[in-house]
Amino acid sequence: MINLKGKKVLVYGLGISGQSASKLLHEKGACVSIYDDEGRFSNVFCYQKNPLMNEYDLIVVSPGIKVIGNQLISHFIMNRTPLISELDLGFMFTKGVVVGITGTNGKTTVTSLTGEIFKRAGKKTFVCGNIGLPISSAALKTDKASFSICEVSNFQLELSRYFNANLATILNLAPDHIDRHGSFEEYVATKKKILTGKRNQKVVLNFDDELVKNLLINKKVTFFSKKTLNKGVFIKNNAIYHNKTKIISLNDLTLFGEKNLENVLASVAIAVRYRIKPNIIREAIINFKAPRHRLEYLGQVNGANVFDDSKATNISAALSAINSLGEKGLVVLFGGQNKGCNFDELFNKNINYEAVYCFGEAGKEIFDCAEKYGYSPMLFPTMKSASYYAKNNAMEGQKILLAPACASFDEFTSYTVRGEVFKEIMFGIYEKIEMSQ
């Protein structure tokens, strides 16, 4: 743990992470300055109008700030001022066990479910990180007996040097956030930082993901798999097993789809590493309610079933939603802001989509790609217009799926808002809001 008393620390970026970091630093006696490129905090007394003019002992960087090409960060690197991520700061002051969960898809579900299992086992549990509660906020509440179940994003790992979770897991790896990292290789290298290689780190990896499976040769790895393995956490006789012990029958799972099966396996693999009893794990899984906007079943419109997977912000997540639902009667809504991904994979698998609606900033690119593979897509300026069209043309037997394969920021402030608006359009509420404004 570092001594921050009297140290001059600049917090860069004042979203929820920066604010939590500032509070923690203040409580630890640091002399805190803040800076945000948007300048909207310029009235706060410790705001620095021009941080380039000052010297600092430490810079704490918020996850949303892209390191490459950032003038301020380059300046501090040149000056040899230590830079750490908010994740590092929070970790340094977290007591007890830290479980770090990363991967391209499923992080939030695994973090929530694992948290529920640990809580049910009577452990003092903090569910934190990218899921919404910054680790800096949870840190000072932890003690030796605590378990911090922390969702870790590649953004948080980018500048991280000290985060060393007692248990680390990478759930899966597929192209995502290429716009931020420059290449898939760089993205994978960033994710891999969660596996510090320290001797006592427990590691949980996905045996079914070739890239993840081969990341580490470590005796302490626990693998999880949808196939039957000799040991680890796996499926046998229509049930989830840990080695020879049956944990739960697949018939008792309440989460929907193949991807969620992987998520449950991952949470079980984490729980068994801390010797949580099978009946506790089982009860937690049965009582778990899936986080919103992840292949969430919304209901029926004109006999069509409607699903919201607004969280599917990359190709692999969208494909996994499609695989879970099956192609019969599938009407898909793709679009938003491209994160540097190539859309071919959505169309080169011969999936028999009933209709493809493309929208937003990346709409034309997706539309062209779909046409290239012989589909007859339709192009809409926004998700809202595509959703209205899907609703007005909904028919019995269809499955209308919002799985955009893109970020939401061209039209919305987050994937959550996108999902809410989709639901509101599909079920009428949004029309009322618009009309009354």
Site for ligand UMA, rule CB under 6 A: 13-18, 36-38, 62-66, 129-130, 132, 134, 153, 155
Residues 6+ apart with CB under 8 A from 106: 171, 172, 259, 260, 262, 263, 266
Min separation Cβ 188 and ligand UMA, Å: 15
Q: Which residue is nearest to ligand UMA (CB)?
A: 64
Min separation Cβ 298 and ligand UMA, Å: 21
Min separation Cβ 261 and ligand UMA, Å: 21
Q: Which is nearer to ligand UMA, 152 or 400 (CB)?
A: 152
Q: Which is nearer to ligand UMA, 335 or 377 (CB)?
A: 335
Our measurement of the distance from residue 220's CA atom to the centroid of its chain's CA atoms, rounded to an integer in Å, reads 25
Residues 6+ apart with CB under 8 A from 247: 233, 239, 240, 241, 268, 272, 278, 281, 282
Q: Which is nearer to ligand UMA, 17 or 22 (CB)?
A: 17
Min separation Cβ 39 and ligand UMA, Å: 9
Q: Which is nearer to ligand UMA, 36 or 116 (CB)?
A: 36
Indicate the DSSP class of residue 290. P
Q: Kindly report the length of the chain.
A: 437
Q: Which amino acid is at 84?
A: I
Min separation Cβ 61 and ligand UMA, Å: 8
Cβ–Cβ under 8 Å, residues 193 and 160: yes
Q: Which is nearer to ligand UMA, 63 or 377 (CB)?
A: 63
Q: Which is nearer to ligand UMA, 29 or 132 (CB)?
A: 132
Our measurement of the distance from residue 27's CA atom to the centroid of its chain's CA atoms, rounded to an integer in Å, reads 29
Min separation Cβ 6 and ligand UMA, Å: 26
Q: What's the CA gap between 280 and 114, in Å, rounded? A: 12
